[in-house]
A and B are shown apart, each in its own frame.
Chain A
């Protein structure tokens, strides 16, 4: 095993363990903190693929901003183990079945796709670096990029309208 493989396995174990802890820990604050651990290990995977820009943006946007807002809400509402509502047993069962069905669909869809034959470019390839990514976004994918920016703008306007005192 070379060092990239060791890192890959380490990060994968951390990511899966973190994701399991997100759904299994009782306290919502702990769940959020485990989710942050998961984001970090995913950023580690990005770095292994030489996608430095994606890795750091993942940390800035998800771990640094969105998760902080999650924590805000959870801390202000003072959610903890005691306030955790009792869940319906049938609801749990239905959730497990629905999640399992989704997993089945994903596995079936990816099993025969040609993605499987493609090998990831480790430590090489510059598509994840900022210059190449910017060029791609503003030439090949310019229309979807602009449309999503308009979507963000309208979301921002909507948030301001909702938050405005009148």
Chain B
């Protein structure tokens, strides 16, 4: 049997890592719903959820339990298989993205160097892009399969918005890739971590802003949540959904938020780099401890971005649809293009 010649330790190591990352994403997404309600309450001078457990900490569990025990309704005139496929795809694509993010440096355990990244593929950032562009299908299939015109309209809105903003996002990314000279996520982080190198946000402030706005639009978050504009479309693309299938759609949105925050911290804020301009290896700490600290630093940056996402939701009103498209096509894409050209010119000029 050739099958047995595989490196089973590697398989085991990766399996544990995958389970760990997926669990963490799910738990963080769960508590982001709690954070959303608490921050909203704080911004609106209320108390927020405080009944289930101390400070309302068990609220997400109660919400999840409620969704699980609600009645499953599949509309008679929907196409049944696609109706179920929609939320599954939304959830799968949301979780797939985490595979190429470097969550930390290396751990040295049982005489093995364990990398805290599931797959260090040659095309890292393009992989994220590919998976994100597939996220459209969850919304489109769900909206179409419900056989409801409001769902369909919302799905098409959401999909066209995601496609439009992907372009500007890609152009903003090209500038980062030119700075690093590699598509590999570990190299992109490595170039920021090494010694006293700058974080990319200092070299690419405009690119970061474009990327951030596009990330908001990709996650269907306010001010770009046109796909679920209640006053125009009842409830949006998941109107016909009930029980946990609705839960999966809402949950996928929070996982997307978490992953895009992690991607932003990785690309622009040094990933698992603890402090900018400081060479952490000179602190003389145990390398394992340093890796864990790096993971904690990445998580801190990610939580900050999650907070900003929530903050924006409760501060800025929703765009009108034409404003959304004008911003995407007439402002962000030219801005990202100019940013890319200037970056390219500067790189050529400085390297001469």
Contact = CB atoms under 8 A, between A and B. Distances in A.
Interface on chain B toward A: helix, strand, loop, or mixed SS? Answer: helix
A3 B155 CA distance: 40
Interface stretch (A50-58, A140-148, A149-157): A50-58
A107 to B, nearest CB: 32
Contacts, number: 62
A3 to B, nearest CB: 6
Interface in A50-80: 52-53, 56-57, 59-60, 63-65, 68, 71-72, 75-76
A14 to B, nearest CB: 17
Interface on chain A toward B: helix, strand, loop, or mixed SS? Answer: helix
B2 A63 contact: no
Interface residues of A, number: 23
Contacts of A76: 156
Given A3-B3, A130-B183, A68 B123 contact: no
Contact of A56 (B2, B6, B82, B123): B123
Contacts of B159: 68, 71-72
A60 B133 contact: yes
B183 A3 contact: no
Contacts of B127: 56
A59 B156 contact: no
A1 B133 contact: no
Interface string A70-98: 01100110000000000000000000000
Interface in B293-348: none
Nearest to A126: B122
Interface size class of B (residues with CB under 8 A): 20 to 34
B33 to A, nearest CB: 28
A36 B134 CA distance: 10
A164 to B, nearest CB: 14
A2 interface: yes
Q: Which of B122, B127, B141, B144 has the most CB of A within 10 A?
A: B122
Given A3-B6, A72-B160, A56 B126 contact: yes
Given A3-B2, A68-B163, A75-B140, 10 more contacts: A3-B3, A3-B6, A53-B126, A56-B126, A57-B126, A59-B130, A63-B133, A64-B133, A64-B134, A130-B183
Interface of B: 2-3, 6, 79, 82, 121-123, 126-127, 129-130, 133-134, 136-137, 140-141, 144, 152, 155-156, 159-160, 163, 183
30 contacts: A1-B2, A2-B2, A3-B2, A29-B82, A29-B144, A52-B121, A52-B122, A52-B123, A53-B122, A53-B123, A53-B126, A56-B130, A57-B126, A59-B130, A59-B134, A60-B126, A60-B129, A64-B133, A64-B134, A64-B136, A65-B163, A68-B133, A68-B137, A68-B163, A71-B140, A75-B140, A75-B152, A75-B156, A129-B122, A130-B122
List the 4 closest A-B pairs by CB distance, nearest first: A64-B133, A2-B2, A59-B130, A56-B126
